[in-house]
């Protein structure tokens, strides 16, 4: 992850008639008094919450993470994983003299290890080591503070919501919401989120229901969902005109469907950190037309600045991602080579499928339920030529593997010492042919499949809730199959896109996204509304069907 930076101009620096700043003592929760027991500390923290959005987000993340022990264990092991990748990669890159292995034919690893290797690192390896060491130390410090916040959240669940940690995994989220609403009704003027801020509430509007809580948790995500739905973001990698015409065949003006985690993080920083202030409130500067030109200029500068920053860190990010992915996926693909043909929804598809105010555990469940049908649908249009070739490859690889396995069973000693080719024994070739056989079989469709693509894609749509207008009356077509295949892509393709994106993201930020700045700023202005008790939110999240769509859709959603 790239470090957080500030890029001028900040909206707070603009000359606007904003309300006076909230005193610093209200920006963050006061420190609880010493000597309080766990219950009193939990009650103190609840009464003194001044950023209700952030607090509810922590409440939800605690629920989604299944309690303090699961979250701490997960984050602690992730921290150890990062440390292992950094240290092991550094050892492989700078602490082994590979020339001794190839030329001197050393037989022991200790003979190839460089003494005091850190002091002898090359410039790039030393820079890699120092940067990632600093990053790791920062991660450790962040983990310590996260544990402290987890303890506070543990007390909130245990003593105020009366939900012990053992019940987190079984209790439903609606029940958690009900209990939050209950303690809010007992103290309606507490946790009001900065009484003079633009998310302010009054005692009359201080109650919390499921819609209000979901809207606060999803306040920023709702804007991103709307941006993707309205296709305001140009995610295409800038290409020469001739190559662009060849790829788009002279007619497709699509803004691109390739979204990676690296690009998504940059979008979050450039857009959400620009629209919202540190307290999670929409900046009023976006609501005034007179600031449009300055905001557009500032957003363009943010895109370009982040493009430069990504270009500087690209070599280190690529190296880390390659090493981490190798360690993570090697065992999976080694044991089950056919899994290389597995599919999952792309990050772009997930933003297109996501609904406003839909919490992540509900969204994940909805997508998980669609996977079996989606896999069957993708297999409805097999490439017959590729299938014929893969059957031939599977037959040849299986034949070689069978003979070698039989030889190893008859004479186990030969499997270890007999070299089929120089320095390559029977065991080596059994592994090679078995892997080829697994991959080939994974690409051969089942012989007893039933061909009914229209019925299958209709069932998939019931879970994804995604059907563009151009799909209407075309669900049986190969075109719909291809477009869905771009959204439900091969895992290996998504992985390669992630690696390549580290190199292409700077160009997207430099050239493709800055021209989108006027439309983005106008969107923030036009689709931000004030709701009493919640402040400024994305208007789509209010489900105003009279403004954004047919009222019949509302009845359909209520029936669901």
Q: What is the 3-state secondary structure (H, E, C) of 314-370?
A: HHHHHHHHHHHHHHHHHHHHHHCHHHHHCEEECHHHHHHHCCCCCCHHHHHHHHHHH
Model pLDDT, residue 241: 65
Angle between helices 123-155 and 52-64 (to 10 degrees): 100
How confident is the model over 505-516, as pLDDT tens digits? 999 999 999 999
Q: Is-contact 19 200, C-beta < 8 A?
A: no
Model pLDDT, residue 408: 81
Residue 238: how many other CB atoms lie within 10 Å = 12
Residue 220 lies inside a defined structural domain of this protein: no
Task: List, as one string, the DSSP characters of 131-147.
Answer: HHHHHHHHHHHHHHHHH
Residue 273 lies inside a defined structural domain of this protein: no
Q: Is-contact 488 342, C-beta < 8 A?
A: no
Give SS3 for 473. coil
Q: Encoding tokens for residue 157?
A: 């669940």
Residue 21 lies inside a defined structural domain of this protein: no
Q: How many residues make up the chain in this entry?
A: 560
Q: pTM value?
A: 0.77
The pair phi, psi for residue 344, each rounded to 5°, is -155, 165
| Calpha distance 475→493 (Å, rounded) | 25
Residue 121: how many other CB atoms lie within 10 Å = 18
Is the torsion defined by CA of 461, 467, 471, 473 positive or negative?
positive
Residue 510 lies inside a defined structural domain of this protein: no
The pair phi, psi for residue 342, each rounded to 5°, is -70, 155
Residue 456 lies inside a defined structural domain of this protein: yes
Domain end: 467, 492, 517, which one?
492
| Calpha distance 377→455 (Å, rounded) | 9
Q: Which stretches of the chain drop beneath a pLDDT of 70?
A: 1-35, 101-107, 125, 187-207, 240-255, 326-341, 382-383, 414-415, 445-450, 544-560
**Domain range holding 123?**
34-193
Residue 521 lies inside a defined structural domain of this protein: no
Q: Encoding tokens for residue 98?
A: 């590979």
Domain end: 164, 193, 222, which one?
193
| Calpha distance 166→305 (Å, rounded) | 46
Show the beta-strand stretches assigned E in 246-325.
none
Model pLDDT, residue 405: 85
Residue 56: how many other CB atoms lie within 10 Å = 23
Residue 282 lies inside a defined structural domain of this protein: no
Q: How many domains does the chain have?
A: 2
| Calpha distance 501→470 (Å, rounded) | 29
CA–CA distances in Å: residue 387 to residues 441, 444, 499: 9, 6, 29
Model pLDDT, residue 427: 82
Residue 420 lies inside a defined structural domain of this protein: yes
Domain end: 171, 193, 215, which one?
193
């Amino acid at each position: 992850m790239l470090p957080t930076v500030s890029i001028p101009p900040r909206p707070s620096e603009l000359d606007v008639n904003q309300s006076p700043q909230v005193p610093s003592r209200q920006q963050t929760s006061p420190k609880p008094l010493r000597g309080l027991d766990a219950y009193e500390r939990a009650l103190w923290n609840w009464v003194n919450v001044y950023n209700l959005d952030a607090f509810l987000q922590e409440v939800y993340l605690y629920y989604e993470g299944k309690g303090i022990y699961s979250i701490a264990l997960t984050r602690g092991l992730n921290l150890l994983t990062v440390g292992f990748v950094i240290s092991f990669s550094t050892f492989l890159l700078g602490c082994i003299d590979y020339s001794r292995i190839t030329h001197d034919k050393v037989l022991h690893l200790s003979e190839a290890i460089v003494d005091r290797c850190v002091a002898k690192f090359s410039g790039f390896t030393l820079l890699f080591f120092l940067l990632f060491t600093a990053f790791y130390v920062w991660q450790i410090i962040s983990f310590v503070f996260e544990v402290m916040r987890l303890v506070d959240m543990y007390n909130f669940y245990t003593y105020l919501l009366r939900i012990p940690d053992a019940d987190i995994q079984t209790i439903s989220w609606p029940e958690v919401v009900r209990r939050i609403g209950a303690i809010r009704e007992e103290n309606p003027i507490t946790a009001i989120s900065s009484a003079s801020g633009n998310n302010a509430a009054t005692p009359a509007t201080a109650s919390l229901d499921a819609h209000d809580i979901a809207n606060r948790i999803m306040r920023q995500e709702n804007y991103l969902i709307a941006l993707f739905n309205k296709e305001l973001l140009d995610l295409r990698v800038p290409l020469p005109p001739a190559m662009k015409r060849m790829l788009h065949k002279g007619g497709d003006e699509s803004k691109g469907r390739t979204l990676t985690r690296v690009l998504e993080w940059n979008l979050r920083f450039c857009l959400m950190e620009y629209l919202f202030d540190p307290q999670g409130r929409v900046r009023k500067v976006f609501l005034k037309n007179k600031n449009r030109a300055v905001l557009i200029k500032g957003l363009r500068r943010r895109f370009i600045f982040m493009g430069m920053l990504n270009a500087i860190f690209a070599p280190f990010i690529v190296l880390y991602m390659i090493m981490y992915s190798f360690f993570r996926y090697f065992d999976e693909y080694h044991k089950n080579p056919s899994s290389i043909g597995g599919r999952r929804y792309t990050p772009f598809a997930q933003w297109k499928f996501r609904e406003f105010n839909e919490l992540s555990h509900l969204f994940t469940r909805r997508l998980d339920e669609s996977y079996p049908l989606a896999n069957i649908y993708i297999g409805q249009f097999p490439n017959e030529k590729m299938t014929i070739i893969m059957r031939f490859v599977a037959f040849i690889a299986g034949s070689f593997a069978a003979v070698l396995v039989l030889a190893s069973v008859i004479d186990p000693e030969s499997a270890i010492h007999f070299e089929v080719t120089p320095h390559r024994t029977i065991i080596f070739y059994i592994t090679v042919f078995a892997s080829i056989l697994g991959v080939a079989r994974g690409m051969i469709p089942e012989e007893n499949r039933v061909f009914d693509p229209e019925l299958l894609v209709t069932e998939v749509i019931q879970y994804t809730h995604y059907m563009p207008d151009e799909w209407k009356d075309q669900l049986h077509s190969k075109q719909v199959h291809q477009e869905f295949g771009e959204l439900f892509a091969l895992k290996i393709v998504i992985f390669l896109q992630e690696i390549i994106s580290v190199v292409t993201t700077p160009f997207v930020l430099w050239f493709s996204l800055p021209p989108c700045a006027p439309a983005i700023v106008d969107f923030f202005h036009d689709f931000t509304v004030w709701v009493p008790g919640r402040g400024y939110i994305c208007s789509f999240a209010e489900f105003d069907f009279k403004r954004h769509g047919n009222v019949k859709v509302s009845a359909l959603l209520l029936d669901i």
